[in-house]
Structure 1
């Protein structure tokens, strides 16, 4: 069994499709961050384990999901329908095979609408800084990723906002992990949902601020 942590804030329209696409052997854990649109109920109705996370922040939800997981290997994936769970094996299999310690999905947009230019540019700049600063050969800080649960907990990640995904990579690199990336499809998020990070310039700016703080530390 592989656990899949799905940080969630008002993603009810996306959840039925997303959870119906979960492959056999992958258990969805929806870490709900205070949704007001019935997301927890929708998730539970479609077979997901629901974890209620009162502390706001992407990192708070992601880490709560990690703590709730029990499987050896844990995947992370956005809950907005932009990723197809059928591709989770692309990040999980190398970890399962022992050829990588952390695998990130490098986003390959299926349409121009999938990834706003300002968000893509910010991501590219951060990835370049990582390559130059700590020597990690990544081109995308993709939210679809996989690693072993015990190893992730040993990193003692502290960020509870948008810097959590970056802190994971930085801490893993410093710990000497083998970090790989693999292509995954990236589609426009489900109709009726809105990104809290890349959906607006303000959200992207906040994410950059949080990630810059992680790099500075």
Structure 2
């Protein structure tokens, strides 16, 4: 069994599609980040375990889900139906291959847009700029700071991630690279999200995410 952490802020419209596509052997943990649209009820009605995370912030929700997870391997993915849970076994298999070679691993899903409007130009540009900065700082060769990920739970907790906002995904890669992890990347389809976007689908959201990630890069440099 693999726990899947789904940070969730007002995703009641998207959750049914996401949860009904969860593969066998993958258990959804919907981390309700103070939603006001009934997301927690929808998640529970579809058989998901609901983890409350009242303090708003993407990193806060991810950390709460990671702390609540119970399996050796965990996955993290967005709950907005932009990513298909059917892709998760491929990430888990890639992680297992890294572990079989005796290394600690982190596998990211490299987003490949599928459908009109799946990845707005401003969001794609911001992601590319951050990925290049990350690669220079961490010595990685990533193309995307993908929100679909797989790793060992205890190893992630041992990284001591501190960011509780949008810098969390970048900090995870920085600290994993610094710890000598093998970091892999596989292609996953990226669909137009369901419902209103709060981050990459809007210019202000993208600006906030880029600002948070740049702050993490700056702190790492110091």
TM class by shorter chain equals: over 0.9
Gapped regions of structure 1 (runs ≥ 5): none
> Please, what is the CA RMSD of the aligned residues?
0.9
Alignment of 1:1-217 (within 5 A): 1-97=1-97, 98=99, 99=101, 101-190=105-194, 193-217=195-219
State the 1:133 CA deviation: 2.0
Q: Distance in 2 between matches of 1:89 and 1:56?
A: 29
Bigger shift: residues 86-95 or 152-161? 86-95
**Aligned positions, number:** 215
Bigger shift: residues 129-138 or 17-26? 129-138
Gapped regions of structure 2 (runs ≥ 5): none
User: What TM-score does the superposition give when structure 1 sets the normalisation length?
Assistant: 0.97
Q: Distance in 1 between matches of 2:196 and 2:91?
A: 25
Q: Distance in 2 between matches of 1:134 and 1:211?
A: 14
Q: Distance in 1 between matches of 2:198 and 2:171?
A: 19
Q: Spell out, residue by residue over 1:48-77, the C-alpha distance to the aligned partner (whole angstroms, 9 max, x if none).
A: 000111111000001100000000000000
Residue 88 of structure 1: SS of its match in structure 2? helix
